[in-house]
Amino acid sequence: MGVLNITDQPPLVQAIFSRNTEEVQLLLHRKEDVNALDQERRTPLHAAACVGDVQIMDLLIESGASVNAKDNVWLTPLHRAAASRNERAVGLLLRRGAEANTRDKFWQTPLHVAASNRATRCAEALLTQLSNLNMADRTGRTALHHATESGFQEMVKLLLNKGANLSAIDKKERQPIHCAAFLGHLEVVKMLVSRGADKSCKDKLGYTPLHAASASGHIEIVKYLLRMGTEIDEPNGFGNTALHVACYMGQEAVATELVNHGANVNQPNKCGFTPLHLAAVSTNGALCLELLVNNGADVNQQSKEGKSPLHMAAIHGRFTRSQILIQNGGEIDCVDKYGNTPLHVAAKYGHELLISTLMTNGADTARRGIHGMFPLHLAVLYGFSDCCRKLLSSGQLYSIVSSMSKEHVLSAGFDINTPDNFGRTCLHAAASGGNVECLNLLLSSGTDLNKRDIMGRTPLHYAAANGRYQCTVSLVNAGAEVNEQDQTGCTPLHYSAASQAFSRTDRHYSGNHQITEDETKESYFCLEHLLDNGADPSMVNSKGYSAVHYAAYHGNKQNLELLLEMSFNALGDIESSIPVSPLHLAADRGHWQALRVLTETAAYVDMQDAAGRSVLYLAAQKGYARCVEVLLAQGASCLLNDNHLMWTPIHVAAANGHSDCLRMMIEYGEEGDLINIVDKFAQTPLMLSVLGGHSDCVHFLLEKGAQPDAKDKRGHTALHRGAVLGHDDCVAALLEHKASPLCRDAQGRTPLHYAASRGHTDILASLVQAAVATDPQDKLLDNKQYTPIHWAAYKGHEDCLEVLLEFKTLIHEEGNPFTPLHCALMNGHSGAAERLLESAGVHMINTRDAKGRTPLHAAAFSEDVAGLQLVLRHGAEINAVDTSGRSALMVAADRGLSGTVAILLHRAKADLTLLDENRNTALHLACSKAHEMCALLILGEIHNPTLINATNSALQMPLHLAARNGLATVVQALLSRGATVLAVDEEGHTPALACAPNKDVADCLALILSTMKPFPQRDPSSCSSSSPTVPSSAGLNLLKHCGITAACSPLPSNGLHNGYVKDRHGAPVSLDGCLSE
């Protein structure tokens, strides 16, 4: 229980803690609330259970105390009694109905509490009442986990004897033996192993009990596990063995035991680190490192990144360990995969003593590392002046004698002007790092202060970019050129104006990249010093940007003020729009304070960029309300259009949903009708707000008088847009402001048409109600005579159909004869079709469209068998033909829908003798489109031999068409049914010649075949003659119209295509081509 002042408790609780039974009886007799709650929701029975006074507990329960009351962490009196290890209190509560399986907020039962508190007798009492001994708490731990953590053998033995699961795992997959090994409970570990616990089990991260004992330094458990045969070099999930863990944790005794038992001292983990690497880096690993070295550890073994143990010691400056490694053969100039030696690492982390050791042992100070940098680069970059001085002293001291003084200058023993891979010298690194002492050391060593990197930048550029004031001062005083331009034309002043934008990201070690006040001040002083020493603020880079542009873009208000104050042509700098003005840059980035500075200086704030966008346009586009406010205060115009869409700032704010900006421009902009201003396509701000679904902007514009029924160039209103895109709130607002649901666009479509097409049921319902209220007689026909019901049916939106069919005024017989039922069936929406038939009645089942097509034709066109069966059940006329003479069977055969053909043939008994306008039967159509299965199904139902050899307008039989399309199975079936092979078509081709890929090949084949016949030689002219007087023998029929020079008569315009002429009857059934998106 929480520690509270007993005098602040109610009298009953005070009496309980005083164990004053008589006082408790008296208070209960006075009707003291026996279930009163304190601030932690504990009852008097909780207090009594904690005290363990059974007599008082009995009195409280007799007076009505709740035995299962829970406090604010869901602990019951039974939990309290178990925690107090009072078995009599536990027994009383259990007898009085306390719930033994109850859980607290951490899902711990009283048994968990008893196991943690070594309450063996309480646990014995609880075990008789529990349904499950292995219940887990919120972390997944069972009572056995808690018992092994406490290390109480008697409790562990009790639970094991009662059947506790030895292998139970918590949410980290740790077993009880892990807990005992980590906490050093040797006897518990022995008991668990003797009962069959897996001594090599692994948790979720792969740690075994040996890893756990090694990490916490429990040497006796380590010895026991090794005696029991535990695998000594077993790796965890990271590849670390027990020796890795012991060395990292600095457990020298455990490490010694492991090494003596034969642990592999050179085994790498997944990163390639050996135990020696971890001992080198560990806080307390010095003795472990010495142990490993003395037992044969490879001092030069490298990790996957190429780091040796000496590299690892250098990272943390482990001086003694680095000496041991070097003395035992550690390679001084070993390089990692970045090229860094231990000297580079020590220089980067500023370990001067280690640098001395490495240099004393011959480390190469001129060795190039990452990006070709010397150790000196890294030391000055990270600002370690002592390391810098040490590295510079690697050469011989020499004297420079001047007329004024005589001083000793440090020499690095190599050319300190040598650049890295990016052309940066050590002076560049020092200027970037900002340690002026390092910088001065380099300057005094004779470094070239105007040396350029590969981008043409000098050290002064780096100092300015990072806002290094003292370094800037030193460089300028040393004679650095302040107006030197790099390859992009930027001077140090450009970089200083932008300042923190170009600074090194690793300056913010905390991970927070927020610019501090001190950094801002230092940047300002840096800029000021450059200006005081002749930096020209009017200089522009290769893109035409000046320092003012840079300061504006990065929002450096103080820098901007200083630049404008020092500029010779401040107004010209601000209003220069080549390539873009500073005002545009500040507005585009939302720097309202910088923008205010600029607008207060500028005489004109309405300049436009190359795309015609004004400063206000950019601020409104990005939603920077403070910038908009600043610009409006300076008189910026809201009516300037861009060049592309002719949008104004109001349009762009509405389109992007920036209601605050929109409100300010409407309320504080110039006079005129700003609300209904139109763009290139006659779109108003209201339309654009609806288009983006920005309901707050829609409400504001409507309240300010926007015209809800204004139309763009295509006749679309804001309501059309809301209906198409499904923006419920916007549609509701428009209807509330009397927008017309019956307004029509250029195609005659109302918002209802679009809502029905897109399936926006709720919007459609609102529009229907408004439409009926506006004009109940409006038939809602578009220019093609289609209604919203047509569209809902065509798209299969059944919910929308329900809405429309509820209003009987919308159901009428007028409109396009291609009915909604046609629409639903042609796209396979059988559910919508069924709803239409229920509502409109079966009389529409045989209605015809303008081309004579019935709903059955539409169903046959789609692959929806359910729709086909639906219309057949409702009495569709099976053999009805359209204006081209085609029945539903012909439509299905032409499209190759074998399932539909089968139903029409087998169930509906469709007529196979029907001919279309080109005298094609269903079999002709199936063969002409190479639909083999359909052709075979039809053949199976043909019992009239004449249909086998029936010819169409082009004198083609099904055999001609099947042969041309290579339908071998169909050809075989036709021949077996008596199809003639000598019949010729209009071109004079037999079925055999129809197999030719084109007419020329067919003619050649006919000539070759004619020479193989035993007929007398004919006059060649007869072959080219098309005279009707040629004898009609079978042999001569082969040569009809097939001469090489003969001009074949054209195929009749109403004939079926013969493979050489483009088909003109393949257009799919549709809503007359007008129901496309």
pLDDT in tens, 666-696: 998 777 788 999 999 999 999 999 999 999 9
Per-residue pLDDT tens over the stretch 850-887: 999 999 999 999 988 999 999 999 999 999 999 999 99
Domain boundaries, the chain: 1-145, 332-448
Query: HSE (CB half, 13 Å, CA atoms) of 223?
Result: 8
What percentage of the chain carries pLDDT values higher than 70? 88
Task: Summarize the confidence of residues 364-386 as an average pLDDT.
Answer: 95
Q: What is the pLDDT of residue 31?
A: 84
Please state, in angstroms and rounded to a whole number, the distance separating the CA atoms of residues 225 and 181.
Answer: 10
Task: Summarize the confidence of residues 506-510 as an average pLDDT.
Answer: 44
Task: Summarize the confidence of residues 19-36 as an average pLDDT.
Answer: 86
Given pLDDT bands bounded at 50, 70 and 90, which one contains residue 20? confident
Q: What is the pLDDT of residue 843?
A: 81
Per-residue pLDDT tens over the stretch 209-265: 999 999 999 999 999 999 999 999 999 999 999 999 999 999 999 999 999 999 999
Residue 686: phi, psi to the nearest 5? Answer: -60, -45
CATH no., domain 332-448:
1.25.40.20
Per-residue pLDDT tens over the stretch 689-733: 999 999 999 999 999 999 999 999 999 999 999 999 999 999 999
Torsion angle of C-alpha atoms 390, 392, 398, 404, degrees rounded to 10:
-100
- Measured CA distances, 690 to 406, 685, 732 (Å): 80, 9, 11
Cite the DSSP H helix spans in 151-308: 153-161, 176-183, 186-194, 209-216, 219-227, 242-249, 252-260, 275-281, 286-294
CB 824 within 8 A of CB 836: yes
Least confident of 282-296, 408-422, 711-725: 408-422
Q: What is the pLDDT of residue 216?
A: 95
Torsion angle of C-alpha atoms 192, 198, 201, 203, degrees rounded to 10:
-40
Using a CB cutoff of 8 Å and minimum separation of 24, what contacts does 187-192 make?
187/153, 188/148, 188/151, 188/153, 188/156, 189/221, 189/224, 189/225, 190/224, 191/153, 191/156, 191/157, 191/160, 192/148, 192/156, 192/166
Please state, in angstroms and rounded to a whole number, the distance separating the CA atoms of residues 275 and 263.
Answer: 10
Residue 396 has pLDDT above 70, yes or no: no
Per-residue pLDDT tens over the stretch 734-753: 999 999 999 999 999 999 99
CB 50 within 8 A of CB 80: yes
| DSSP category for residue 515 | P
Q: What is the pLDDT of residue 1062?
A: 32
- Tell the CATH topology of 1-145: 1.25.40
Residue 792 has pLDDT above 80, yes or no: yes
* Mean predicted lDDT score pLDDT of the chain: 87
Residue 1040 has pLDDT above 90, yes or no: no
Task: Summarize the confidence of residues 284-306 as an average pLDDT.
Answer: 95
Query: HSE (CB half, 13 Å, CA atoms) of 592?
Result: 15
Q: What is the pLDDT of residue 1?
A: 44
- Measured CA distances, 760 to 662, 776, 802 (Å): 29, 21, 12
Given pLDDT bands bounded at 50, 70 and 90, which one contains residue 39? confident
Q: What is the pLDDT of residue 1032?
A: 36
Least confident of 74-88, 117-131, 437-451, 1030-1044: 1030-1044
Q: Which two tokens stand for residue 211?
A: 């890893």
Q: What is the pLDDT of residue 813?
A: 61
Q: What is the pLDDT of residue 30?
A: 84
Angle between helices 242-249 and 209-216 (to 10 degrees): 20
Given pLDDT bands bounded at 50, 70 and 90, which one contains residue 509? very low
Q: Which two tokens stand for residue 400?
A: 């420079």
Residue 770 has pLDDT above 60, yes or no: yes
For the chain, how far is it from start to end, CA to CA, in angstroms?
71
Q: Which two tokens stand for residue 384?
A: 């370690």
Residue 1075 has pLDDT above 70, yes or no: no
Kindly report the CA angle at 799 between 793 and 800, in degrees rounded to 5? 55
Residue 510 has pLDDT above 70, yes or no: no
Q: What is the pLDDT of residue 575?
A: 62
Given pLDDT bands bounded at 50, 70 and 90, which one contains residue 1066? very low
Given pLDDT bands bounded at 50, 70 and 90, which one contains residue 806? confident
Q: What is the CA radius of gyration of the chain?
A: 47
Torsion angle of C-alpha atoms 764, 770, 773, 777, degrees rounded to 10:
-50
pTM here is 0.73
Q: Which residue has the higher pLDDT, 578 or 776?
A: 776
What percentage of the chain carries pLDDT values higher than 90? 74
Residue 407: phi, psi to the nearest 5? Answer: -135, 150
Please state, in angstroms and rounded to a whole number, the distance separating the CA atoms of residues 399 and 445.
Answer: 11
Q: What is the pLDDT of residue 414?
A: 73
Residue 183 has pLDDT above 50, yes or no: yes
